[in-house]
């Protein structure tokens, strides 16, 4: 099977590429902005430039059966763009739909689109879970651009017959993870006390290994066609429980102070960090039963196992 991947040099994409090459079942083409040395030698690279509404995908799409579209303008905490929504739309909506239209014209059978749980919203309350059929509650430009791309893909699938699979993951963690999760690894390894010992929220996460496995699984499963999936480990944890698990993976005792979350939320808002407080103290749970029941899929790794791999990778990297 011939597969075109965008975002193949990223956190998720590089893991997918390595897994597919290791299986020996796929010929993988990576659409890249510039030549990269982080991909397996057996991956053929085609330089396409940036993901834009006018990008020419003709060369990259030749002979391709499946597109795995992971590239995106990612969510950023401090966006200094004059019009963030326009910037996100340019790449994530219009750029993605341009690729999808050309893919359909080239005879691609299935288009897998990596969306985001932000399409559903930022938080769940009262023990509720996000589902694929929720009324959309996205609140930021990134989530809006992903939603618009999803809506355009649904229309395109009906018009062309190209099958579309949409995946909305929550927080992804695993070896080489960046951003806030990496900071938690750093603080835990250094033994820095954190005021997060009494957080009673519930968060769904997805291990990198589980997400990669699901992406590959959804490439060929007949029942995945034209469906939306929320994917997670199925092991929802509080922020406190997550930090305890990370500390265990490091072989350390967690240093967590039980500061009232109401006080910390107020302090964060006063400092202009209300969104950070929402992620640390709020709940976000997803219902991934559709993936398990419709596609007969199940996680291939537990949270503890993935955290152990993540910590081992972090230790190796930071000890150099």
Q: What is the pLDDT along the chain (320 residues), one digit of tens a residue?
A: 999 999 999 999 999 999 999 999 999 999 999 988 889 899 999 999 999 999 999 999 999 999 999 999 986 645 566 788 999 999 999 999 999 999 999 999 999 999 999 999 999 998 899 999 988 777 789 999 999 999 999 999 999 999 999 999 999 999 999 988 999 999 999 999 999 999 999 999 999 999 999 999 999 999 999 999 999 999 999 999 999 999 999 999 999 999 888 877 877 777 777 777 778 899 999 999 999 999 999 999 999 999 999 999 999 999 85
* Cβ-based neighbour number of residue 147 at 10 Å: 20
* Per-residue model confidence (pLDDT) at position 257: 93
Dihedral pair phi/psi, residue 233, rounded to 5°:
-75, -20
Query: pLDDT at position 183, please?
Result: 94
pLDDT of residue 79: 57
List the domain boundaries for the chain: 2-168, 179-200+238-281
Residue 271 phi, psi (nearest 5): -90, 5
pTM for the whole thing? 0.94
β-bridge partners, 35 = none
pLDDT at position 193: 94
Can you tell me the distance from the alpha carbon of 235 to that of 245, in angstroms, rounded to the nearest whole number?
12
- Per the listing, tokens 């969104």 go with 275
DSSP state of 118: G
- Distance from C-alpha of 67 to C-alpha of 202, rounded to nearest angstrom: 34
What are the catalytic residues?
142
Give me the pLDDT at residue 76, please.
Answer: 61
Q: Which CATH superfamily is domain 2-168 in?
A: NAD(P)-binding Rossmann-like Domain (3.40.50.720)
Q: What is d(CA 20, CA 38) in angstroms, rounded to the nearest whole number?
A: 15
């Amino acid at each position: 099977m011939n597969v075109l991947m965008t975002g193949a040099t990223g956190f998720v994409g590089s893991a997918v590429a390595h897994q597919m090459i290791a299986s020996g079942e796929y010929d993988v083409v990576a659409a890249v902005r510039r030549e990269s040395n982080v991909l397996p030698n057996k991956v053929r690279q085609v330089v396409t430039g940036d993901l834009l509404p006018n990008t020419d995908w003709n060369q990259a799409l030749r002979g391709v059966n499946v597109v795995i579209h992971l590239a995106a303008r990612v969510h950023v905490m401090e966006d200094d763009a004059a019009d963030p929504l326009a910037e996100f739309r340019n790449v994530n909506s219009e750029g993605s739909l341009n690729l999808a239209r050309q893919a359909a014209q080239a005879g691609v059978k299935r288009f897998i689109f990596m969306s985001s749980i932000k399409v559903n919203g930022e938080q769940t309350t009262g023990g509720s879970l996000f589902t694929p059929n929720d009324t959309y509650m996205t609140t930021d430009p990134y989530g809006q651009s992903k939603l618009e791309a999803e809506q355009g893909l649904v229309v395109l699938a009906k018009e062309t017959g190209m099958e579309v699979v949409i995946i909305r993951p929550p927080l992804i963690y695993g070896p080489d993870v960046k951003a806030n999760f990496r900071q938690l690894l750093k603080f835990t390894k250094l033994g820095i006390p954190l005021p997060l010992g009494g957080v009673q929220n519930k968060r769904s996460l997805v291990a990198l290994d589980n997400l990669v496995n699901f992406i590959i699984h959804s490439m060929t499963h007949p029942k995945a066609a034209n469906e939306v999936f929320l994917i997670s480990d199925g092991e929802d944890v509080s922020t406190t429980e997550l930090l305890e698990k990370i500390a265990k993976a490091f072989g350390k005792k967690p240093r967590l102070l039980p500061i009232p979350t109401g006080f910390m939320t107020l302090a964060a808002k006063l400092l202009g960090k209300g969104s950070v407080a929402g992620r640390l103290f709020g709940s976000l749970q997803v219902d991934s039963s559709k993936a398990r029941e419709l596609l007969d899929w199940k996680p291939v790794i537990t949270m503890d196992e993935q955290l152990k791999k993540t910590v081992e990778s972090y230790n190796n990297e930071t000890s150099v």
